[in-house]
Amino acid sequence: MDYTLDYLRESLSNHMESDMCQQIVRKMEANKYENEEMFARDLSEEEMAYLHDVLESELNYARNARDDVRTKELTEVFELLF
């Protein structure tokens, strides 16, 4: 089973004060994407720009925490977006 979007959703939970983050999470919940590729195709440019910043921050945190699994999963999403 692919947990990539679960890791992304969990990372986004750290940023729920942002309206854009809330918008993205609602989109994830409403559409129940099969995989990260389907999710990435459905993002607007504005959502992608927001995720770029969030993912950079979350990837740095995962690397510093030496959480290789989280780093791998979040990198998969980051690479699809950019």
The number of domains in the chain is 1
Residues 65, 38: Cα–Cα separation, whole Å: 29
* Stronger pLDDT, 81 or 45, i.e. the higher one: 45
- What is the pTM assigned to this prediction? 0.88
Please determine, for residue 82, whether its predicted confidence score (pLDDT) is greater than 80: no
- Cα–Cα distance, 33 to 19 (Å, whole number): 21
Q: What is the mean pLDDT of the chain?
A: 93
**Residue 49 domain boundaries:** 4-81
Question: What does the pLDDT read at residue 3?
Answer: 86
pLDDT of the residue at 2: 62
